Amino acid sequence: MSLVVLPVMLPLFAAGITMLAMRSLVAQRVVGLTANLAALGTAVLLLIAVESDGIQAQTVGAWPAGVGITVVADLASAMFLVVSLVVIVLVQVYAIGQGVDEAQPRIGQPVYLVLTAGVALSFLTGDFFNLFVAFEVMLISSYVLLTMGASGKAIRSGMTYVVINVLASTLLLATVGLIYGATGTVNMAELVTRFPELPQSTQAALGILLISVFAIKAALFPFFFWLPDSYPLAPVAVTAVFAGLLTKVGVYTMIRATTILQLDDIRWLLVMAASLTMVVGVVGAIVQSDIKRILSFHIISQVGYMVMGLAIGTVAGLTGAVLYVVHHIPVKTALFLVGGLIEDSTGTGQLHRLGGLVRRAPIYAVLFVIPALSLAGMPPFSGFLAKLAVITAGLQAEEYIMVAASLVASLLTIFSMSKIWAGVFWGTADDPTPAMASADDEDRRLVIDPVTTAATAALVLCTLIVPIFGGTVFDLAERAAMQLLDTTEYLEAVRNS
Amino acid sequence: MSIMMSVLVAWLFAVGTYLLLQRALTRIVLGLGLLSHGAVLLLITVGGRAGRPPLVGKGDDGAGIAAPLPQAFALTAIVIGFGVSAFLLALAYRSWVGTANDEVQDDIEDRLAQMADGEGHFRQPDPEEDQPWDEWDDPEGAPKATEPNS
């Protein structure tokens, strides 16, 4: 059996097993963690295989490509898969530490494993209909995680997320139908040759439809409004994995669709959307006063940078986009996890009720400041490498407005990160929570949970790997970008599968 | 045939969109159902003309069969749509049980804007009064603020 299908199948099988083992929480946790670790192992092997032997493809069920379901791994998808699975495993440990999966009925672990399978399939799928299926798998499990054990009011806000995403999926289904009607295939490799044969106007219409659907998933301007209202509601482990992964799956599909279908005509749309997303997202973050909501708005702003790389459209631009996704997934998740640690220890995430944590929980300060500076793009962290790549590419391509927008957004990111820093770690709380107020001595340490803190620390260490091996990662990203733009190898690999 | 199907698809999309814009949650769920039916019909319609069942035996060149792929797509989409509808209905029900009404509430930013003091500044939330974020953060009864000096 080919390596390509394993990252999808292992978590799915494990989901079935954990469902059967509902009575034993320990068994569920062991099986769940083992499966995700195994999936991570296969993903790493897959990345090595792709790196040395070129694109790996497999058509399931001995059908010819074009009829059967194709799964393909190229450098970009393998890299994203590895980073995502690292995050998934560490968040799983964090969730176990927090006891999120203890709630009855014990569906936490199975649903999380299905989510893993959905994310993996979204990265690996080689046809658009299968992408729709992957989205549904991923989203139905995310709906369950989001609304699991929530109260009436939280469910009401979770509905926004559910309705918007179901609508996006329906639109994707209709678009896939139209693509099939126009070209007679939904296989991405076949579309490489057949799509450019369509009339210009049909290409543009289908392209805009497809990009809009992915823009909803990626929370791109003007489709971002659902994200900050729904993400902060879930348990923090769930929010963290959503923040790190789900919008990035949208970005990945957008990159994939744009390069496969060669949508050069509507690049100006992406340029506008990226510029506005960067600025609007960060401006939204500035006015917020709750850690999770500030971070949620930052997701939007950061998605703008990735789409900026895509909108530039050169090898350098796509390299930047790939690097940005690789940098962003662990950094964003780590920030949310730290937010969760603070909430666990103090009982709130509101800035005016927190203060002085730099003395009372110095480990949180360290864990926060590294990803925060990375997000803002300070050297020597991974965000610097990614931002530098995107902005250099923008200057080379003479997209000055977009570059200006990205620099402004960067500056405002530092501003709003320093707002969290000043509110949470410095000063004193205006209106302290019981956990904060109970200490008569201002220097008394907060209670710190070892498991969740260790998981967060491990993730923060992962974000440091990117700058340490900066040269290797950059080379990989550049080769991934060349593979994305030159579709002949992709076509060959799928036809020979 | 094809024109009738196209009109039907358009009609389903129109009615679905209209229902989606309503404030009652049950109507939104129904609207999403109609939209997904529209999408499935669209899949069938683009599959081309009707034909023989797509079963190819020995010595059969497969001439005149209906395109099998759209049918497979449609079946998959129907099953997924069914699951999603069931989930949405369950959510709508729980939401109704939880809050005893079916209306979609105002946007959270609007509620914050109502709290603003009219000069563009948000006033400090009063712990005695409305605390929108606590309510959202910890619905099970957030640790309410105690007076710092009590």
DSSP H/E element including B2: helix B2-20
CB atoms within 10 A of CB A24: 12
> Does the beta-carbon distance from B146 to A434 stay under 8 Å?
yes
In a mutagenesis test of the A interface, which of B29, B46, B109 is the best target, namely the one with the most A β-carbons within 10 Å? B46
The CATH class of the B2-50+67-99 domain is mainly alpha
A378-396 pLDDT, tens digit per residue, is 888 888 888 899 999 999 9
Report d(CA B8, CA B16) in Å as an integer. Answer: 12
Percent of chain A with pLDDT over 70: 95
Assessment of whether the complete model's pTM goes beyond 0.90: no
Q: Give, rounded to a whole angstrom, the gap between the first and last alpha carbons of chain A.
A: 12
Which amino acid appears at position A469 of this protein?
A: F
The residue ranking higher by pLDDT, B50 or A221, is A221
Structure token pair of residue A156: 């009401």
Of A395 and A232, the structure prediction assigns the larger pLDDT to A395
User: Which residues, including other chains, have CB under 8 Å from residue A373's CB and lie 6 or more apart?
Assistant: A381, A383, A417
CA pair distance A302, A305, nearest whole angstrom = 5
Q: At A242, phi and psi to the nearest 5?
A: -65, -45
Cβ(A333)–Cβ(A423) below 8 Å = no
State percent of chain B over pLDDT 70: 63
Run of H or E including A157: helix A152-183
* Six-digit token string for A317: 């631009």
Answer for the pair A230, A158: CB distance below 8 angstroms, yes or no.
Answer: yes
pLDDT band at B108; cut points 50, 70, 90: low
* Distance of alpha carbon A46 from alpha carbon A158, whole angstroms: 36
Chain A interface test: which of B95, B96, B101, B115 (most A C-beta within 10 Å): B95
Contact: B139, A157; criterion CB under 8 Å: no
Q: Which residues contact A63 (CB under 8 A, 6 or more apart)?
A: A69
Q: pLDDT (tens digit, 9 = 90+) per residue, A6-32? A: 899 999 999 999 988 888 888 888 998
Kindly identify which residue of chain B lies nearest to residue A176, measuring between CA atoms. Answer: B43
> What is the domain partition of chain B in residue ranges?
2-50+67-99, 108-137
Q: Write down the domain spans for chain A.
A: 3-495
The confidence score (pLDDT) of residue A443 equals 59
DSSP letter at A253?
H
The Cα A119–Cα A85 span in angstroms is 9
Q: Which residues of A touch B105 (CB under 8 A)?
A: 156
- Structure-derived torsion over alpha carbons of residues A379, A380, A386, A387, reported in degrees to the nearest 10: 0
HEC letters along A419-487: HHHHHHHCCCCCCCCHHHHCCCCCCCCCCCCHHHHHHHHHHHHHHHHHHHCHHHHHHHHHHHHHHHHCC
Q: What is the DSSP string of B58-107?
A: TT---TTBPPHHHHHHHHHHHHHHHHHHHHHHHHHHHHHHHHS--BPPPP
d(CA A379, CA B124): 36
Chain B residues inside the 8 Å CB shell of A152: 94-95, 97-99
Going by pLDDT thresholds of 50, 70 and 90, the confidence category of residue B140 is: very low
